[in-house]
Structure 1
């Protein structure tokens, strides 16, 4: 048997034996609070569409307008003919809102993170990452020429102990952690990085749009400004893509040397056009964040006395159950009662911490949250 085939079959068999096989489901309206699968309707608590923009008709109309003006695709990389007025306007809207000189656009948060670390780091550098950072950051750090060390999750004292006094240091953390829903202590991390003359990178994929008075994210809420801020458009913006925000020189550097940027086809200009509208909607429609706060408080009221409940200040509500098989069983039980939840298991989370990743959106109602709580209690035998 060829080596590749043997390796593939062995890996798949091993994952299946551990009960960790992943699967995809064909769903309709997965970007809404009610989705359909196999002819049945479910209340969807697995979407990252925190502000409920993914199916907002105003935003849909903006994308349609962009299509009528710019067509379907960009046609080339940004360095050739793929950079349009729509892209330039999106960059300008982001920099004005978030207070940076440059915004470099990417097709996804994964590519933005990898491009940033691959381009910025050299062998003499020391990369310090929160141990729960996203896979895109961890993989990029491992494959980069720099030496990488991981500090204990949100542990500023441990982070401080890792500075060596000699290297160029780059500290990387998420603003909101996607599997735990908790926030990084950005004020303390900023103080430590500045004291050690280091640069700070904040990946705010799950904070932008949701936190802060204007929706400016974790950094606006903490009133800090890292050297580099990564924002993605696939969560609160209801679309896809990402941007790296930075000063002028760093932006020029990434534009020249970041291979993910130079050698990738630019995002469709119609998408950039619609995203510029989304930037305005995120800032001005404060009711969406107010609705999330209301739902979050009600969720806590319904479930705070149930084992597994985790309190967070974000729309991400991890419900930690422990063992992989049990979390799958609970998710299936909830699904039989019309609740769509996703079971998160190793290697995405540490062994023994398998969980339901429950997410709230501005499109949910209190009645739907109540239905979720009843289904979850029933599945856990808490009633």
Structure 2
């Protein structure tokens, strides 16, 4: 039975491609390539401050016990990374997790009973969907960023939990968080906003969109992957003290996976300090994003982005393969998004802009995209 399933995957995903690899795998980038695949939006992953913090933390650490977070005693840690991040975003409590994926699954499993109505944006991250499934919720999807459709669903099915991203990782669109919070209050719903792609880039000192909108006291939970602007491998939940007290003893990702090690938390602390000082990088990020977006629109591309994530909607697998190869032939490397990240035949190539992208780089991207447009319009 398993052989049939494996053969099906291979025949669907691997064998049809020209290079006999998955669609997301084209050429290997050269050193001269313009890389638009990383979510390191502030271009800090190789920053000396972070490197030195990691080296120092490893050198001074005598012993690190690898164990589940359920056994950790954190009483009295007044200036911990968790407390700093909670204060930074305007929440009472912060829970560190192994990833943004673990944060979303653990949180949703912890806070809702089975069969609770969950209202989820169609383009919300897969970890939010998986969290709702893990919690045995009654899942109701609403049209992307369509507040009227959300309200209609709540009227029909009753109060529950609303799940959205602040910045959507596929199209780069931004959720109407203010309107969603108003609806949540009106109908007695709780809200979870995944700020993975806005913490560090948006808001005062990078404190995120929820904080920028003054909604930290109105949005019940924020979740975040720290593998984006923080350029690390971790996740976090911003919540109330009560949720923080019970989470380690209820959430399966917290119970059955080892916690982050102390030296890793020290790296995150140094990164948070750096991010707060990155106003110039944030300014540069959005300046370059605007230039690229405007250039693509002038070429005739339909761009829905409202953020540093810019997507070329490429359609079918075959068409996406052609566009990917044309771009990579000109040393432009974006990320291919296909099933299960997007619906079938609604593939896209995502350009993740970062603050180190130069005007020359933007010129190269636009030249390559113009070539794509001319070839496909023949």
Q: TM (normalized to structure 1)?
A: 0.89
Cα distance between partner residues in 2 of 1:177 and 1:76: 33
Contact kept in structure 1, 2:220 and 2:239, CA below 8 Å: yes
For residue 318 of structure 1, the aligned residue among 302, 306, 311 is 311
For residue 169 of structure 2, the aligned residue among 178, 202, 209 is 178
1:10 corresponds in structure 2 to 8
Contact kept in structure 2, 1:308 and 1:321, CA below 8 Å: no
Cα distance between partner residues in 2 of 1:380 and 1:72: 57
For residue 328 of structure 2, the aligned residue among 319, 325, 335 is 335
For residue 157 of structure 1, the aligned residue among 148, 151, 154 is 148
1:78 corresponds in structure 2 to 69
| Aligned 1:6-45 pairs, distance under 5 A | 6-16=4-14, 21-22=22-23, 36=30, 41-45=32-36
Contact kept in structure 2, 1:165 and 1:196, CA below 8 Å: no
1:366 corresponds in structure 2 to 359
For residue 378 of structure 1, the aligned residue among 366, 371, 376 is 371
Deviation of the 1:280 alpha carbon:
1.5
2:47 corresponds in structure 1 to 56
Deviation of the 1:255 alpha carbon:
2.3
1:118 corresponds in structure 2 to 109
1:92 corresponds in structure 2 to 83
Cα distance between partner residues in 1 of 2:63 and 2:317: 42
Contact kept in structure 2, 1:75 and 1:81, CA below 8 Å: no
1:344–1:121 distance in 2 versus 1, CA, 3 Å: same
For residue 192 of structure 2, the aligned residue among 192, 198, 201 is 201
Cα distance between partner residues in 2 of 1:267 and 1:92: 16
Contact kept in structure 1, 2:117 and 2:157, CA below 8 Å: no
1:166–1:177 distance in 2 versus 1, CA, 3 Å: closer
Deviation of the 1:23 alpha carbon:
5.5
Deviation of the 1:24 alpha carbon:
5.2
2:289 corresponds in structure 1 to 296
Contact kept in structure 1, 2:171 and 2:304, CA below 8 Å: no
Cα distance between partner residues in 2 of 1:14 and 1:66: 46
Deviation of the 1:73 alpha carbon:
5.2
Cα distance between partner residues in 2 of 1:54 and 1:284: 15
Contact kept in structure 2, 1:86 and 1:269, CA below 8 Å: no
Contact kept in structure 2, 1:209 and 1:216, CA below 8 Å: yes
* CA offsets 1:274-299 (integer angstroms, 9 cap, x no match): 11111111112211110111101211
* CA offsets 1:40-84 (integer angstroms, 9 cap, x no match): 641101111111111112111111111122368542122325869
User: Is 2:243 aligned against 1:250?
Assistant: yes
1:146–1:354 distance in 2 versus 1, CA, 3 Å: closer
Cα distance between partner residues in 1 of 2:24 and 2:347: 16
User: Is 2:137 aligned against 1:139?
Assistant: no
1:127 corresponds in structure 2 to 118
Q: Secondary structure at the match of 1:235?
A: coil
1:269–1:141 distance in 2 versus 1, CA, 3 Å: same
1:349–1:71 distance in 2 versus 1, CA, 3 Å: farther
Contact kept in structure 1, 2:23 and 2:321, CA below 8 Å: no
1:237 corresponds in structure 2 to 230
Contact kept in structure 2, 1:295 and 1:365, CA below 8 Å: yes
For residue 37 of structure 2, the aligned residue among 31, 46, 50 is 46
1:272 corresponds in structure 2 to 265
In the alignment, structure 1 segments of 5+ residues that lack a partner are: 28-34
1:130–1:71 distance in 2 versus 1, CA, 3 Å: farther
Deviation of the 1:22 alpha carbon:
4.4
1:71–1:158 distance in 2 versus 1, CA, 3 Å: farther
* CA offsets 1:170-222 (integer angstroms, 9 cap, x no match): 11111010001010000000000011111110011111111112211121232
* CA offsets 1:75-121 (integer angstroms, 9 cap, x no match): 21223258699997110110111111111110100111111112222
